[in-house]
Chains A and B, each alone.
Chain A
């Protein structure tokens, strides 16, 4: 019970040995408060400022193939730049729980640069998620976020030719959950969302009244002349909305296999729409403590946690080395800004494929060579990686290894280090 190490592993990307030692001193309640309401600005993240990308290379509409090729190359380079930046930022952020929560929201409103293409719009979306006061504010902003709208064909959704893609996902994946609405509701909600055009240059959605369907719509039993804001507010008022968000937080922070217990859900729903307060309710719940070892680390969590514990700055590495790390992460199936679908990343044992096993071993080897390793023993590796200890199996492998880099490689790849 009240396992402070579990709290740190789940709430952030993975504590350093020093952070864990301090948290053990401070106790669970103090640690929890410091995580969710950190005092003062995030000093750590000031060393990884948001990249200034300038105008999107397509903002001035390249005219011929040559210009398009140049514009695409610039976008590719900037995509790589922001991906590397965010991984670095995740590692150095002092406000670990808030940065991890941001990664949660990114996976929730899962938008991929593979379709959006504009690094500027992706970065804009991330900033919007970061700036949102609570879930209600976030939902209102995301419904007109240019990256999300483009991703779900909102710019093609007009009065004349409605496209219900965004409306469907708003209900199914972002706000209510499947089964909480009818196909008719999706169609009607699609009409409410008509009229937005994505402006790459100004990084926002522009409302075109002539393309908006201002007529009456009946959505979830309510008839009105809904527009985007009206629709989002309607969905926010539904009972299923806070329940759905509580269940999504549970899925990522507590268990991807067990459903959220009713009592836990009720306590979290009471704190809606403030995500940090909902998380506090979760972390104070018995059901959270009972699920130790049940979550498989996502590749980003594994990598960022390892970089924190080993003191590796992906932002400070030579480009070639950073590329090796990003390529490895891609092979593991998880690059920030590129979720595989609007449903976000998978969870659980899907990360544990035989293909991933080989990639992970290679990446662990790379990280081990980048770390400062003097003398290590199996015990000190466990301390460094903030593990409670080794299983007999893993200890038997480690005990005969002398080279600290090899020890570290095996520790990072160990089954113990792949779950929280």
Chain B
């Protein structure tokens, strides 16, 4: 990033000390600095809780993530894929973490990792597509157009930067009826040849007498510029010498997708810079392990462990960061029994991981029994709507019944300061 933007970021995020602040005053100009300070002081958004949703696409094998190492049924169902009891990172006398998750184990020991067991929904669907849709819309029984976060954006009349994804396509969970989250391109705003931000800003001004939909179309350009501006203030590094610290943006993953670590790095920057975003959506794909599961799954879990523990550790170092809660979920688990290709096919319920400073670490709910299966699949012991309701209430401070249809009103005690 250029010197001025970086300076602004450092000041805003509190990384730079008094010296830098004094030096920055000259660079930024007094008026601009004051504006920034005003925003930071008055902004109660710094005191607001923040939610980071981590979607694992493809169906994460829950049984090989949180492992029932003391259950002989686990070993007989998938002899080639099971982890020996001595290799598992033990959480209690029944369950342990995959050996590739040492960072999660450390968070568990520090009581900052909650494991919500057997999470699913009624009438489980084994299509990736439909099941992910069900999780993201939060509506297992009837298809709806809005995501559960999107409905919260609608209900709170939230500005566009309230919910942000760093992926190119808006995930359904951020889509509301009248509003939606913003997708921020990691490379920053790129406009076609000959089109300037001034032109786009001018197109973004709604007119008094135009049809509502047309005015909304205009506003979307203004929204786009506003979100880009906000994120740019916290913006990504572009290889300047003083960026060679933990603020460096990691490389993107293969296939053009942005790596989880890179996405989380941007989230960290935004949180620390005081960007008024409350919900971030990030993701990691590739969990559809039908064949030769072990190697692929371990590599994914290692990425997940490193990216998330790095992020959670970093978040504990600032006051705004300590308001961040991370939630990791997938559209379904895998079948209990391995298939003939040393992989597993689409299954049902799985564990959801919740981490952060506000979290009371420990087990929540009940591990589904391997002795009581539904046609070879785990029976969900907790409806995801119970977890969503808890997040809406305890993290977003909103009324769950308004946004989660079918919420039973039983809040999980994951957030003790509530």
Binding site for B on A (CB under 8 A): 65, 112, 114-115, 172-173, 178, 292-296, 330-331, 333, 340-343, 346, 348-350, 352-359, 361-362, 364-366, 368-369, 391-394, 396-397, 401, 403, 405-406, 409-410, 413-416, 418-419
| B143–A349 CB distance below 8 A | no
Once the chains bind, are A361 and B192 in contact (CB under 8 Å)? yes
A349/B170 in contact, CB under 8 A: no
Minimum CB distance partner of B227 in chain A? A354
B210 within 8 A of A: yes
Q: B220 at interface (Cβ–Cβ under 8 A)?
A: yes
Say which one of B44-52, B172-180, B262-270, B379-387 lies at the interface with A: B172-180
Query: Chain A's nearest CB lies how many Å from the CB of B122?
Result: 12
Is B43 an interface position by the 8 A CB rule? no
A340, B220: Cα distance in complex, Å: 22
- Partner of A415 from the list B181, B217, B226 (CB cut-off 8 Å) is B217
In the complex, what residue of chain B is closest to A398 when comparing beta carbons?
Answer: B199
Inter-chain contact B220/A368, CB cutoff 8 Å: no
B224, A358: Cβ atoms closer than 8 Å: yes
Is residue B377 contacting chain A, with contact meaning CB distance below 8 A? no
Is there a chain A Cβ closer than 8 Å to B72's Cβ?
A: no
Q: Which interface residue of A294, A358, A394 has the most chain B CB atoms within 10 A?
A: A358
Shortest distance in angstroms between B38's beta carbon and chain A's nearest beta carbon? 25
Chain B residues contacting A294 (CB-CB under 8 Å) are: 211-213
- A-B pairs, 9 with minimum CB distance: A365-B192, A355-B183, A293-B211, A406-B194, A415-B217, A354-B224, A354-B223, A343-B143, A357-B224
B residues 186-207 in Cβ contact with A at 8 Å: 189-195, 199-200, 202-203, 205-207
Partner of A355, one of B168, B195, B202: B168
Q: Which residues of A contact B142 (CB under 8 A)?
A: 172, 178
Q: Are B216 and A355 in contact, CB atoms less than 8 angstroms apart?
A: no
Is B169 interfacial (CB-CB < 8 Å)?
yes
Contacts of B220 in A (CB 8 A): 352-354, 356-357
Q: 24 A–B contact pairs at CB < 8 A? A: A115-B127, A178-B142, A293-B210, A296-B216, A331-B168, A346-B145, A349-B178, A349-B216, A350-B145, A350-B180, A352-B217, A352-B219, A354-B182, A354-B224, A355-B183, A357-B223, A358-B189, A365-B191, A365-B192, A392-B207, A401-B194, A401-B199, A415-B203, A419-B211
B202 adjacent to A368 (CB under 8 Å): no
Taking a contact as CB atoms under 8 Å apart, the answer to whether A361 and B175 are in contact is no
Q: Is B412 an interface residue (CB 8 A)?
A: no
From B127, B169, B181, B195, A406 is in contact (CB under 8 Å) with: B195
Give the docked Cα–Cα distance between A232 and B127 (Å).
26
Kindly list chain A residues whose C-beta atoms are within 8 Å of the C-beta of B341.
65
Residues of B near A393 (CB, < 8 A) are 202-203, 205-207, 218
Q: Which one of A348, A358, A368 lies within 8 Å of B185 (CB-CB)?
A: A358
User: Contact between A65 and B192 (Cβ–Cβ < 8 Å)?
Assistant: no
With A and B bound together, what is the CA distance between A41 and B211 in angstroms? 38
In the assembled complex, the CB of B406 is this many whole angstroms from the nearest CB of chain A, namely 15
Residues of A with C-beta under 8 A to B206: 393, 415
Interface size class of B (residues with CB under 8 A): 35 or more
Instruction: Specify which chain B residues have a CB less than 8 angstroms from the CB of A355 in the assembled complex.
Output: 165, 168-170, 182-183, 224
B207 with A362: CB separation less than 8 A: no
CA distance A369 to B192 in the complex (A): 10
Known A355-B170, A396-B202, A414-B203; contact A365-B195, beta-carbon cutoff 8 A: yes
Q: Bound complex: CA of A409 vs CA of B192, how far in Å?
A: 8
Task: Please give the distance in Å from A2's CB to the nearest CB on chain B.
Answer: 19
In contact, A333 and B203 (Cβ under 8 angstroms): no
Segment 118-146 of B: residues with Cβ below 8 Å from A: 127-130, 133, 142-145
B170 touches A353 (CB 8 A): yes
Contacts of A293 in B (CB 8 A): 210-211, 213-214
Residues on A with beta carbons closer than 8 Å to the beta carbon of B218: 393, 415
User: A140 → chain B, closest Cβ, in Å?
Assistant: 24
Contact status B191-A361, CB under 8 Å: yes
Q: Which single member of B143, B180, B211, B213 contacts A353 (CB below 8 Å)? A: B180
Kindly list chain B residues whose C-beta atoms are within 8 Å of the C-beta of A361. Answer: 191-192, 195, 200
* Chain A residue with Cβ nearest B165: A355
B81 in the interface (beta carbon within 8 A):
no
Contact of A357 among B176, B207, B221 (CB under 8 A): B221
Q: Write out the residue numbers on chain A whose beta carbons fall within 8 Å of the beta carbon of B191.
A: 361-362, 365
Q: Does B291 contact A (CB under 8 A)?
A: yes
Q: Is B274 an interface residue (CB 8 A)?
A: no
- Note all chain B residues with C-beta closer than 8 A to A396: 202
Alpha-carbon distance between A413 and B172 when the two chains are bound, in angstroms = 24
Min Cβ gap A254→B in Å is 13
Q: Is the CB of A353 within 8 A of B194?
A: no
List, in ascending order, chain A residues with CB within 8 A of B224's CB. Answer: 354-355, 357-358
Are the CB atoms of A353 and B182 closer together than 8 Å? yes
Chain A minimum-CB-distance residue to B189:
A358
- Residues on B with C-beta less than 8 A from A331 are 168-169
Quick one: closest B residue to A414, CB to CB? B203
Asked whether, in the complex, the Cβ of B195 is within 8 Å of the Cβ of A418, the reply is: no
CA distance A358 to B184 in the complex (A): 9
The CA-CA distance from A366 to B190 in the complex, in Å, is 13
A364 with B170, Cβ < 8 A, contacts A356-B220, A394-B203 known:
no
- In the complex, what residue of chain A is closest to B192 when comparing beta carbons? A365
Tell me whether B215 is interfacial, beta carbon within 8 Å. yes
Complex: A295 Cα to B211 Cα, angstroms? 10
- Please measure, in the bound complex, the distance between the C-alpha atom of A391 and the C-alpha atom of B205, giving whole angstroms: 11
Among A172, A340, A403, point to the contact of B172 (Cβ < 8 A).
Answer: A340
Give A14 to B371 CA distance when docked, in angstroms: 60
B192, A364: Cβ atoms closer than 8 Å: yes
Q: Is B160 an interface residue (CB 8 A)?
A: yes
Cβ–Cβ contact B190 & A362, under 8 A: yes
With the chains together, A358 CA to B225 CA distance in Å? Answer: 9
CB distance from B46 to the nearest CB of A (A): 23
Residues B210 and A415 in contact, CB atoms below 8 Å apart: yes
> Across the interface, which residues of B come within 8 angstroms of A115, CB to CB?
127-130
- Roughly how many angstroms separate A114 CA and B182 CA in the complex, as a whole number? 25
Residues of A within 8 Å of B176, CB to CB, are 350
Q: A366 CA to B211 CA in the complex, in Å?
A: 28
A330 and B169 in contact, given A294-B213, A350-B180 (Cβ under 8 angstroms) = yes
Is the Cβ of A409 less than 8 Å from the Cβ of B195? Answer: yes
Are B192 and A419 in touch, CB under 8 angstroms?
A: no
B291 interface neighbour in A65, A368, A394, A418, Cβ under 8 Å: A65
Given the complex of chains A and B, what is the CA–CA distance between A274 and B165 in angstroms?
A: 44
B195 to chain A, nearest CB (A): 6
What CA separation (Å) do A340 and B130 show in the bound complex? Answer: 9
Contact B207 A418 (CB under 8 A): no
Distance from B125 Cβ to chain A, minimum over Cβ atoms (Å): 8
B175 interface neighbour in A343, A350, A358, Cβ under 8 Å: A350
- Which of A343, A414, A415 is most buried by chain B, counting CB atoms within 10 A of its CB? A415
Q: Nearest chain A CB to B167's CB is how many angstroms away?
A: 9
- Nearest CB to that of B145 among chain A residues? A346
Q: Which residues of A contact B200 (CB under 8 A)?
A: 361
Contacts of B133 in A (CB 8 A): 340-341
Contact among B128, B172, B180, B193 with A365 in the assembled complex (CB-CB below 8 Å): B193
The answer for the CA separation of A405 and B193 in the assembled complex, in Å, is: 9
Give chain B residues whose Cβ lies under 8 Å from the Cβ of A330.
Answer: 169
Q: Which of A114, A172, A296, A355 has the most CB of B within 10 A?
A: A355
What's the least CB distance linking B355 to chain A, in Å? Answer: 27
